Amino acid sequence: MQKKLLTLAVAGALGAPGLALAQQSAEVYGTVNMSFGNVKWGSSSAGTPSLSKWDVAQHASNWGVRGRESLGGGLTAWFQIETNTPMERSNNVAITPASRNSAVGVQGDFGNVFMGQWTSPWADLDSLWAIGTVGGWGPVTSIIGRRETTGTAPNPNCANDKSGGGPGTTTAGVGNAPCDAVEAGGGVGHPFWRRLSNAVFYQSPVINGLQAKVAYQTNEGRAISVGATSVTSNASLWSVSAQWTGMGGNARVGFGYDRHSEFTSAARADTGMTVKGGYNFGVIDLGLAWEQMTYRTAAGDCKGSNYGVAVAFPVATGAIRGSYSIAGDLNDPGCGAIGTAIAPAGSTVGDNGATELNIGYEHRFSKRTQIGVGYATIRNDRAGAHNWTGLPPQQNGFSNAPAAGSSISTWFVNMIHRF
């Protein structure tokens, strides 16, 4: 009841009380996920000295409003508007409305159809295996899936730095780039974990534990070359998956396939395959992950493979959790210099992978509140620059990405509260 009253208050503040009253059910919800600990940046391949610091980090904290309305005939209309909640470093992390899973859809016996911004079927498979993380220091979005990227497809007509001018800007050197800040972040090695925007989704009903999902991210950024102000581009994305859960919910396995058209090169499509799953033996819950991405360039294909294992041992009302993952090198002839999504510009081919290890104990006080302690580390190869989302700036004081070859470790205390 309190959630419904709060939702009505929020809707009233937004000037739409009639809309809120029309909902059959609506609620405000959210998650606060934060850690306090010590972070150490190791020395880089170029000789940058190591540095340690204390930090308060937040891990995808969020809040949102969602609601459902019965339409009759077995149909249900629903909506969700979810917003990021940085909780710290608010001076350089904007609070953007509807920046997380936000959509409107219709659900029935045929399944669930919706449109908006949502995690891809590829990314949804992580729930089948990623049971080995305390807080936010784990393999998902750091090794498995490479790194998190929210937004539309990479778009060469946008500028990452809106003050930098160039294609996609109205005045050279002024900016006004009309696109999401991550749209220009393409290049060899872009992440396959992503939240699709400008997208349409379908999720089938669950039949005997089997479910299929498909998503299409539109080519809304399509352009033809107009003088020196733009380049020809037609980026779009398909993501599909099939997953099965059985044996009393203890066994789960899923397969995913993505096709990212013109993310790396014009007239070429990057592709990826992944298998993720696990089994709960009672005394231990085991998760496994494998994925392979193929980036296509004018010089040839560039392939990278990642692997991960996760475990959870129940202890009283808590659990000991751990993960180990490997990011393989991108060293095919088509890889060239690795882009900023994997390592700093100018890095050489190969020797750019990493390993990630995390272990900790998490105690659940209630369905809403849990506290954990743990240790996590990423060991980067000479040209590797993998990291977790939410880290403080590295040695130079302003970049969150580590310098090439710099490894990272953290001891932390974590708290999660859901409402």
pLDDT band at 89; cut points 50, 70, 90: low
Q: What percent of the chain has pLDDT above 70?
A: 82
Contact between 137 and 388 under an 8 Å Cβ cutoff? The reply is yes
Tokens of 86: 């940085």
The answer to whether residue 49 is domain-embedded is: yes
- Rounded distance between C-alpha atoms, residue 269 and residue 381, angstroms: 28
Domain count, the chain: 1
Residues 6+ apart with CB under 8 A from 388: 136, 137, 141, 142, 376, 378, 408
Question: Which of 13-22, 241-250, 396-405 shows the lowest per-residue confidence on average (mean pLDDT)?
Answer: 13-22
The answer to whether residue 26 is domain-embedded is: no
pLDDT band at 187; cut points 50, 70, 90: low
Residues 6+ apart with CB under 8 A from 344: 385, 401, 403, 404
The answer to whether residue 29 is domain-embedded is: no
The answer to whether residue 22 is domain-embedded is: no
Q: Which domain holds residue 241?
A: 35-418
Looking up tokens 């193929």 gives 294
**Residue (of 289, 295, 292, 294) closest to 305 by Cα position:** 292
Q: What is the chain's alpha carbon radius of gyration, rounded to the nearest angstrom?
A: 22
345 vs 285: which has the higher pLDDT: 285
Q: Would the pLDDT of 124 be above 60? A: yes
The answer to whether residue 16 is domain-embedded is: no
**Residue (of 121, 143, 122, 139) closest to 130 by Cα position:** 139
pLDDT of residue 204: 98
What tens digit of pLDDT does each residue of 153-172 get?
A: 777 776 533 333 444 444 33
Contact between 116 and 186 under an 8 Å Cβ cutoff? The reply is no
pLDDT of residue 94: 65
Contact between 213 and 121 under an 8 Å Cβ cutoff? The reply is yes
CA 211 to chain centre: 22
pLDDT of residue 165: 40
The answer to whether residue 18 is domain-embedded is: no
pLDDT band at 337; cut points 50, 70, 90: low
What tens digit of pLDDT does each residue of 355-393 get?
A: 999 999 999 999 999 999 999 999 999 888 899 988 888
What tens digit of pLDDT does each residue of 169-185 get?
A: 443 333 444 555 455 55
Question: Which of 61-70, 242-251, 338-347 shows the lowest per-residue confidence on average (mean pLDDT)?
Answer: 338-347
Contact between 138 and 419 under an 8 Å Cβ cutoff? The reply is no
Tell me the three state secondary structure of residue 204: coil
Give 267-313 as a DSSP string: T-EEEEEEEEEEEE-SS-EEEEEEEEEEEEETTEEEEEEEEEEEEEE
The answer to whether residue 147 is domain-embedded is: yes
Question: Which of 69-83, 148-162, 295-309 shows the lowest per-residue confidence on average (mean pLDDT)?
Answer: 148-162
The answer to whether residue 6 is domain-embedded is: no
CATH of the domain at 262: 2.40.160.10
Burial (CB count within 10 angstroms: exposed 0-12, middle 13-18, buried 19+), residue 72: exposed
